[in-house]
Chains A and B, each alone.
Chain A
Amino acid sequence: MATEHQLEGNGVSHDDHDHDHDHHQSFVSKYIFSTDHKTIAKQFLITGIFWAIIGGAMSIIFRLQLGFPNSNVGWLKPLLGQWITEEGKIDPEFYLALVTMHGTIMVFFVLTAGLSGTFSNFLIPLQVGARDMASGFMNMLSYWFFFLSSVIMMSSLFIQTGPASGSWVVYPPLSALPQAMKGSELGMTLWLVSMAIFIVSSLLGGINYITTVINLRTKGMTFSKLPLTIWAFFLTAVIGLLSFPVLFSAALLLVFDRSFGTSFYLSDIYIGGEALPNTGGSALLFQHLFWFLGHPEVYIVLLPALGITSEIIATNSRKPIFGYRAMVGSLFGISILSFVVWAHHMFVTGMNPFLGSIFMFLTLIIAVPSAVKVFNYITTLWKGNIVFTPGMLFSIGLVSLFISGGVTGIYLGNSAIDIQLHDTYFVVAHFHLVMGSASFFGMVAGVYHWFPKMFGRMMDEKLGYVHFWFTFVGVYLVFFPMHYIGIAGFPRRYYSFTNFDAFQSFTDLNMFVSVAAIITFGAQFIFLFNFFYSMFKGRRATLNPWKSNTLEWTTPINPGHGNWPGEIPAVYRWPYDYSKPGAEDDFIPQHIPFSATPESNLPHENELIAEEKEEEGIVVDETKES
């Protein structure tokens, strides 16, 4: 009796009798319109992987143009049709469309939906000890809005005038005027509609993540005992909730300018042989609104990756994460500061230079918590006992990429240096390393690490190693050379550099980058094979294959609806008790009470034993009262 009450006390509505229905679920309610967070996570993951292939393939096509500008790509004609010109060249406007869609897909559909959508959904209930998300239905809606948004974005690739091509930032007036380029016709409308729906999806997900973390933690799971993954997902959701609506408003006003004749962003324009009636609008307004999301967005894709990495590095170093409180503090610091640095994307847009100074100060402050995180990761490795699982390799790779891409942020955040580097390949190198590749590595690391929990089987490790080394070396060979190209002044989003004397060098380096990109992209198919093969034929997983401390490994190998067949375990300790002196094993999971480990307890932990007993008593009392 007491047990059942206790369950309700934890805010859980399901009980054992719900599980009987598991077996009667139809295919549709189990795999398609599922409200189970684990299934929804897998849906996000598979859709994200699909988008990653599309987005990656696009980058290969434009890398062909950049690396081999004189080659004939007529062989792509069966695939791309009219976008390949008579002479077998990529059409310049299609080049811009590719760049635009690559950016949009990678930032939003892969690294936002694919990363947060997968791991926040999968791990929040499992790691905080909840039966499911606060609202399974909203969670399902979140995925299906994302799916709808994906379908619309996808369909824009197949229309006559092509997809949006004003780059992923879609600055008006270019994106507002159909006369300005083909991509600003129907393609841009579809982009805006798709993004609006995407934002709805993102908000539905975010509200759920926040609510679940705040309300559905199991007994004993105080905020100070949350794994860093959960801290990261939680703060990511908060950032998303506060910033995505601003992008929504930016998009909405752009829709008005495009379709209803308003002048929010348009003023004094003469195009296509006629003067437009719009006056009084401000093109800069859009940039402010866009980057008010756009910059936090960088952290929306990065923080989950950092959270995942913290967990994997601690587990596989067999050491507590160094400076847990500093890690949480720096996550807070980054989250708050991420809202006040947006205008560093706008130093030379004509914005008031005084404002530029302010944003330069704020931007360089954000480097401090980022640096703290790096130092803590490195100290966690120090004197560890490191097991190189594929997940661990990708996590170490992430830290390296985060450093390499992070330091160049100090150049770009300095407005005086940014004058020259703004919109050159230096920027491309910077954000592809620090945000693109780092987040991608976090996502892949997460897949390798939690694959056993998702599918009950292990991924092949050897293939994982090969995949890592190809990808890691490949990513550096693709993006590091871009620093040189950027310092040499080469501007972004250029179809070709043949028109300028100043940009004649580096044809060899550009060719090298393209070859490296093709090989790196090819190596991802090793992962794809491993992923789908292991799903069905992989070695069967054990209960806790990485000897990890967090709660998800206390569930059955294939957790059913509701995650734990019986009572949800209570939590007594932080999740990083690895290699504790005196302990028999080199890990003590979170649900083991201090009373069970007298041999390894620290002095202050022994005092907690009494409290543990007291708390149990209190809970029973409470249930009796109710």
Chain B
Amino acid sequence: MLQFVLIAGVVLIVIVLGFLFRINTLVTVVKGAEKHPETKSNKINGLLMFLFMVASLILLCWYSYARFDDYTMPVASEHGVVTDNLFWVTTAVTGFVFILTNILLFYFSFKYQYKENERAKFYPENNKLEIIWTVIPAIVLTVLVFTGWKAWTDITDAAPEDAEVIEIMGQQFAWSVRYPGKDGKLGKVDYRRIDATNNFGMDLSDRNAFDDFMAPRLYVPKGRPVELKIRARDVLHSVYAPHFRLKMDAVPGMPTRFWFTPTKTTEEMRQETNNPEFNYEIACAEICGRGHFSMRLLLVVEEPEVYDKWYAEQQSWLSQNPDYLSQIPVELEELAQISVENTKGNKETENKLN
């Protein structure tokens, strides 16, 4: 019933509007069809141009000021400070141009609206002006490019030697994290070895894989460079840690990397944001299917001491999955056993952090 009333209402409104339009048209015809550009409409449109400019400038300034804290995200990495600065420098430069050109556009539209006894100025070209406004933007852009280029090369440069190496792998629709263990080296992987337990497809003929361990979250130490080795096992994903200004695609068949230095622990950020529930998060930024919007991984930044302690206590994947010992080549079996024995003692203290 309600639906019927709604539909009837809409139809009625459309009919009334239609009639109004028709009457208006007929009135115009009666008044005389010939229209002159200096009619009221032209003045109203000119005035609206001006009003639009004023209103939108006020709205822009008010909203940008009032909601500043909502749209700026606290930054927690070293390079993030640099790119944020670039962002604000660019905002200052382009904001100036944006406001100036828009004001000129709307103001000229308003000011030079049609007047019957006036004539436009015949002003077809001025090469000097053209050169000025080609050269000035070119110089400004060159400056912006060079600062951006410097930051970009620093960020994408090879990670420092002592960086913590951690692997993060995307799959539909979750992230998995692997640490290299005590030897600091990630074991080889082969996607053909992936199964329900061996999520990463670890190749156990590589001795570096024996002490690798997984974690349910991405733990990183504050103040130390961290190099993420990024891969995907099914479709494209993209590691996106907004607070760290970090984004890099995960590509099946082509490992990628991104290194950064966290500057604030999770705890520090909780205090800074006055939010005891605060957590760093990693999201997926490359469309990957149905669950794209739900690929969440917690990222935890710890003080280096706490991190080191946690790291030392972790049990290797192999010691938790002894079934896979059978995959190890004969000549490496003894080595694997030792590696497994070494980490067994950690069982009780495991996962004290969380």
Contact = CB atoms under 8 A, between A and B. Distances in A.
9 contacts: A92-B291, A267-B254, A350-B249, A381-B109, A393-B45, A495-B292, A496-B293, A499-B296, A500-B296
A488 B73 contact: yes
A385 B114 contact: yes
A465 B145 contact: no
Interface in B100-144: 101-102, 104-106, 108-109, 112-115, 118-126, 129-130, 133-134, 137-138, 141-142, 144
Contacts of A348: 238, 247-249
Nearest to A485: B71
B144 A364 contact: yes
A74 interface: no
B333 to A, nearest CB: 26
B70 A506 contact: yes
Contacts of A420: 80, 83, 87, 242, 245, 247
Closest 3 CB pairs between A and B? A267-B253, A353-B156, A350-B256
A388 B46 contact: yes
Nearest to B29: A539
Contacts of A374: 101
A463 B296 CA distance: 49
Contact of A96 (B25, B251, B292): B292
Interface string B214-239: 00000000000000001001111010
Given A367-B137, A382-B112, A422-B247, A495 B293 contact: yes
B72 interface: yes
A499 B175 CA distance: 14
Contacts of B174: none
B68 to A, nearest CB: 10
B105 A396 contact: yes
B52 A473 contact: yes
B325 interface: no
B73 A323 contact: no
A422 B285 contact: yes
Interface string B168-202: 00011000000000000000000110100000010
Interface residues of B, number: 114
Given A371-B133, A417-B148, A270 B233 contact: yes
B169 to A, nearest CB: 10
Interface of A: 92-93, 96, 166-167, 171, 173-174, 177, 180-181, 266-271, 275, 279-284, 317-326, 348-350, 353, 356-357, 360-361, 364-365, 367-368, 371-372, 374-379, 381-388, 393, 396, 399-400, 403-404, 407-408, 410-411, 414-417, 419-420, 422-424, 460-463, 465, 469, 472-473, 476, 480, 484-485, 487-489, 491-497, 499-503, 505-506, 539, 576, 578-581, 586
B119 A388 contact: no
B159 interface: no
A372 B98 CA distance: 14
Contacts of A177: 234-235
Given A364-B144, A386-B109, A388-B45, A403 B98 contact: yes
Interface in B298-345: none
Nearest to B25: A460
A388 B41 contact: yes
Nearest to B138: A368
A403 B249 contact: no
B194 A365 contact: no
Contact of B137 (A317, A368, A404): A368
